[in-house]
Every structure is written in C-alpha cells, then in structure tokens.
Amino acid sequence: MPDDSTQRIRIFSVETRFQKLARRGGGVPRNAAIENAQSKIEEAKPGFEGWLTQEVQLLADLINSVKEGHAPPGWIDVASDQSAQLRDIGTTMHCELVTFIASSLCDVLDAIAAGSPCNMDSIVCHVDALLVARQKPYRDMKPEQVPKLTSGLRKVVDHVSVSPS
C-alpha cells in the first residue's frame, strides 16, 4: 500500500510564457546573438577600466585601514563581496588575470571566515597583485602568462587553507 506522501506527489507538464515566446520565429540566431553580445561588452569596456580602478582602490583602502588597526565592523564580508565582484566580472570583460587573483583572494577570505588565522600578508599580496593586474599591459594577460605570480598565489591559498584554526 503506498504511503500518503507518494499519493500527494503530482507531476505535470508546463509550458511557460517564456517558452512560448522564445520558441516563436524571428529571434536572433545563436552566433549572431553571441556576436551582438560581445559588441555590447566591448561598448562597456571604456567604463570598465574606470570601474576596475575604483573597485580595486576601494579594496586596497579597506585592507590598508585593517592593517593600520582601523578595521571597520564586518570588513571580511565587505572584502569578500568586493573580491567576488571583481572575480565575477573580470573574465566576462576579458580580464582573466583579474578573475584569477580575485578568485584566489576569495578563497583566502573564505578560509579566514571559516576559522583560519587572519594572516594579513596573505591578503595584502593579493591586493598588490590586483593593483598590478588592473593596469595595462597586465590587464589583458592570461594567468598562464604570469606563472610565477599564479603559482605564488596558489601557495599562499594552500598555506592559509591548511593552517589550523
């Protein structure tokens, strides 16, 4: 005899309005759509350079204030959010090195938030790397083009992640 919970399960078909509209003819074919979207990204690039400079500077200022003993409350969360933004946007704007460094910094901050000791040097070296990566010609480089930097940051993350809490 089936139990009550299985009797209450209902499986049904749905065609959402999004599906109905999206299946109609006259849309932009995939390749053209992607090309158009890339053009939109290129159009946004001049503004991105200013945004990147400003966001990295905000992060650097925050970390400097923490180093000087003026840590604002919840600074780890603020630094995490700023790093996550840089990570999430970098590659979309063809700045893979920025995403790599910011992602590595997110790992460090996550480890600290999870109980690893707060080693400021591990954060500062990432911020310094971001200050370099926001400038030309580094901004357009890929992580594999700067192997010493990437392997150094990986070692820092490994060290922070395995440190006892």
Partner 1 sequence: MTTPTINLRDSVILIAEGSQYLSMIVHGILRGFGAHKVMEVRSSLEVLQALTGQKIDILLCDARLPPHGGLNLTHAIRRKVDSENRMIPILLMSSDTREKTIKQARDAGANMVIAKPISPANLYDRLAWIALTRRQFVDAPTYFGPDRRFKIEGYPGGVGRRKGDQVEVAEESGPALAQDDIDNLFSAAQSGKD
What does the binding site for partner 1 look like in residue numbers (CB under 8 A)? 5, 8-19, 21-31, 33-41, 43-44, 51, 81, 84-85, 87-93, 99, 103, 106
Tell me how far apart the 2 most distant CA atoms of the chain are, in Å.
Answer: 70
Residue with Cβ nearer partner 1 (38 or 145): 38
Nearest to 86 by CA among 131, 39, 22, 20: 131
Question: CB of 76: closest distance to partner 1 in angstroms?
Answer: 15
Do residues 108 and 153 touch, judged by C-beta distance below 8 A?
no
Nearest-angstrom CA–CA distance, 118 and 163: 10
Nearest-angstrom CA–CA distance, 65 and 124: 12
The tokens describing 109, both together, are: 């901050």
Residue with Cβ nearer partner 1 (14 or 162): 14
Question: CB of 83: closest distance to partner 1 in angstroms?
Answer: 10
Question: CB of 4: closest distance to partner 1 in angstroms?
Answer: 9
Residue with Cβ nearer partner 1 (28 or 120): 28
Residue with Cβ nearer partner 1 (80 or 116): 80
